[in-house]
Amino acid sequence: MNHSPVRYIDLKNCKISSGYKLNIKLSYQVYGLEIGKGPVVVVNHSLTGNSNLSGENGWWSKLVGKNKLINTKKYSVICINIPGNGFLNEKFEYGNDWILRDIANIFNNALKKLNIKKVHSLIGGSIGGGLVWEMGTLEPNYYNNLIPIAANWKSSDWLIANTYLQNLILQNSKNPVNDARIHAMITYRSPISINNRFKFKKDKQTNKKEVINWLDFHGEKLKKNFLLKSYVHMNRLLSTIDITQENKLNFEKIIDSISSSIHLVGVNSDILFSDFEILKTYKKIKEQKNNIYYYQIKSEHGHDAFLIEFDKITKLLSPIFKI
């Protein structure tokens, strides 16, 4: 059971970049103070995540809760489900060439429809961090703090190469969700993390390598809980992060328009959103903006550190959330 009930908001005639107009029923959950009773923090979920953010089985319950990094005694915390993520088997029109910017527009409109005048912080990891970039640049004065974790303002060629492989697996495998997840797990962790965890060990009963058992477990688990069409959709969104929209917009002008403080968080061992690319972004923005900050999570766990290194994240980001 979630301690926070699922709520819904209807948005009419949402125009997406491919030209389609759609009616969208968004689902979301609120944790802590009721909306309007305190400052708002918006948390964006990851590729296979959802709005079950805090409390029992909450994917960020170590960071969001009473007296946690994002203190639900002081904040109203909102997590919206990305349309098409398959949460609660909600209806969704797949196949309309969605890009992440479309989601960003819809989320921004939803927050305003909830009569939220200003947001204290917008935070998320991985695709959720890419969504932070997209939402924050579309509304450059709406968020006090933008906090993309293990993410960047544009899908790199390396990331696009991985989403391309994911798509081929999803289209061509006889066991698509299972097999795509196995590949994804290898990009979410680092070689050091996997090597240190398994150390050539075998299952004594089956004589199977433990690393294979671990991959099979994650593949089978996602297969039971995630729709193929949702995986295809979310994987596509991951490949479309780009606040310049393929250079149709000027990066420097976009950055110059943002009043929000930007807090970039990289993971030193991340092989999906490389830390050196995030650091490069920081240095580039620092040339024209003072309220830009860079933090590094030192971890052997790779990209998934944003779902593992809770103490380190708390230590790095706690000054932002002290009120």
Q: What's the confidence (pLDDT) of residue 1?
A: 38
- Supply the CATH classification number for the domain 158-237: 1.10.1740.110
**CATH 3.40.50.1820 in the chain, residue ranges:** 7-154+242-321
Average pLDDT over every residue of 128-132: 98
The topology under which CATH files domain 7-154+242-321 is Rossmann fold (3.40.50)
CA angle 176/177/182 to nearest 5° reads 100
**CATH 1.10.1740.110 in the chain, residue ranges:** 158-237
Mean pLDDT of all residues belonging to the chain: 96
pTM above 0.75, yes or no: yes
Q: Which of 95-99, 182-186, 282-286 has the lowest mean pLDDT?
A: 95-99
pLDDT band at residue 95 under the 50/70/90 scheme: confident
Average pLDDT over every residue of 231-236: 97
Q: Is the pLDDT of residue 24 over 80?
A: yes
Q: What's the confidence (pLDDT) of residue 145?
A: 98
Size of the chain in residues: 323
Edge-first strand order for the sheet with 76-80 is 7-15, 21-32, 76-80, 40-44, 119-125, 143-149, 261-267, 292-297
CA angle 264/267/269 to nearest 5° reads 155
- Alpha carbon of 239 to those of 49, 95, 157, 242: distances in Å? 17, 15, 9, 9
